[in-house]
Amino acid sequence: MTGSGINDVLLSRTRNARVLHESGIRRPPLGKTSRVADELGNELAEVVGAAHVLTDPDTRADYETDWTGRFGAPSRLVVRPATTHEVSAIVRICARHRAPIVPQGGNTGLVGGGVPRSGQVLLSLRRLAAVSAVDPIGRRLVAGAGATLAAVQRAASAAGLEFAVDLASRDSATVGGMVATNAGGIRVIRYGTMRAQLLGIEAVLADGSVVSRLSAPAHGNGGYDLIGLLAGSEGTLGVITRVALRLVPAETERAVALIGVDSTAAAVRIATGLRGLTVIDALEIFYADGLALVRARSGLRRPLESEWAAYVLAEVAGAGAEMRLGSALAALGLDDVALAVAPDDRRRLWSYRETLTEAIAAEGVPHKLDVALPLDQLSAFVAAVVPLVASYSAAARCVLFGHLGVGNLHVNVLGFAKDDRRVDDAVLRLVADLGGSIGAEHGIGAAKRDWLRLTRSAEDITAMRSIKRALDPHELLNPGVLLPPAD
């Protein structure tokens, strides 16, 4: 699919936001807060213009709830700057008012890290959407934080290059948010996460100062890695305003295979086998229950001759892609396989995987737990997590899919109230017990910070907290996100 599916979901954001507002989570504004908000709003309006300070609950609603409908709360106001200079001025004003800020990109986040927890200033970066000309020699471009992934991809393609990260929400997700969460996506196995694409960054720190490392040459390297530190810091150390992104050569040949397997263990064996035989661009997994949801919603036909317990989707790119993928499949002795080379055929195979998110969301508000396991524990995890979730409720369902090649699974749990965190607790503890990580490509956010101690030691969290205190001593930037509450 080309993103239209996810856009259907995104269009329903307003509905979700209304539900939240009507559900009573919205707190009545206190007199004092209201008056201060007016002063703050007036000062911010002088910076960005009154039209870009949203105080009316209806106009704010789209920004205040994440698209799954699980996370969100009313903001104090929404402010929409258009330049780095305006972001800096906003942060200085908020610092003076001690008004906490939640930075937001395309609001496609899944861990409650980009929506208010209660009454923060919501700083929308979407208007910082400029994409520079491509530098074909340096193979880079500079994009505003609010540029969508699709806009960056289009700019790269127009110059005969590609941007290496791709994910299903490409038409809505912004590069600023993707850097802030260190997003991965479907090609992470070949090219790494967003952090690996960063050649430079510009960010506004908590005191309003602007740190810029946009112009350095690709291999320039002096001083601490502020670029990598801001990547994945989920808006808690600085507001990312622009990024310099590396581009990679465009691959003209591609081949995609959908492979039926009878177990997770078989999928891991195939994944390892394929990687040993050729360079793989994408290596995904989904299961029979997810396929059933997708087919029921989309009307897509059965993809393979037989029904299988699980499906592996593999993509190879570059010279001889079809031959390389075909030989690798033959060498592994795989039989029930659909192989696609023409763009439409490849898109059709991908649609089984890419419409899953939408199909799951149509069933209710999922608890989405994005985790990573060592590959040799993936099978044990899958075998344990399904009965574990079922043990909490007869109505519970657990739909799994993910980036097989890097052990990154998305655990989608349906059938629990939004605030019922028992199942989150059980699943994340299982991950930790198996040597996994409770976060992979969505960030920690507000959703998982209470469990960060499962996989980060006290010394590690102390070090992170020291860095947070050093750069944001008044907890102005995205409080309540990433770092666990103090003991």
Pairing of strands 121-124, 397-403: unpaired
Q: Report, in Å, the least distance between residue 464 CB and a copy of itself.
A: 5
* Nearest to a copy of itself of 382, 440 (CB atom): 440
Q: Is 396 helix (H, G, I), strand (E, B) or coil?
A: coil
Q: Report, in Å, the least distance between residue 236 CB and a copy of itself.
A: 8
* Nearest to a copy of itself of 77, 91 (CB atom): 91
60: CB partners within 8 A, 6+ apart: 54, 74, 75, 77, 78, 122
Q: How far apart are CA 60 and CA 297, in angstroms?
A: 31
* Nearest to a copy of itself of 151, 194 (CB atom): 194
Q: Is 479 helix (H, G, I), strand (E, B) or coil?
A: coil
Q: Report, in Å, the least distance between residue 199 CB and a copy of itself.
A: 11
* Bridge partner residues of 203 (DSSP): 211, 240
* Nearest to a copy of itself of 57, 192 (CB atom): 192
* Nearest to a copy of itself of 198, 340 (CB atom): 198
- The closest alpha carbon to 105, from 36, 10, 31, belongs to 10
Q: Report, in Å, the least distance between residue 324 CB and a copy of itself.
A: 9
Contact 220, 486 (CB under 8 A): no
Q: Report, in Å, the least distance between residue 285 CB and a copy of itself.
A: 14
* Nearest to a copy of itself of 8, 425 (CB atom): 425
Contact 175, 147 (CB under 8 A): yes
* Nearest to a copy of itself of 231, 261 (CB atom): 231
Contact 233, 470 (CB under 8 A): no
Q: How far apart are CA 63 and CA 248, in angstroms?
A: 33
* Nearest to a copy of itself of 383, 395 (CB atom): 383
Contact 421, 403 (CB under 8 A): no
Q: Report, in Å, the least distance between residue 279 CB and a copy of itself.
A: 8
Contact 237, 477 (CB under 8 A): yes
Contact 136, 157 (CB under 8 A): no
Q: Report, in Å, the least distance between residue 95 CB and a copy of itself.
A: 15
Q: Report, in Å, the least distance between residue 91 CB and a copy of itself.
A: 13
Q: Label residue 340 exposed, middle or buried (CB < 10 Å: 0-12, 13-18, 19+).
A: buried
Contact 102, 153 (CB under 8 A): no
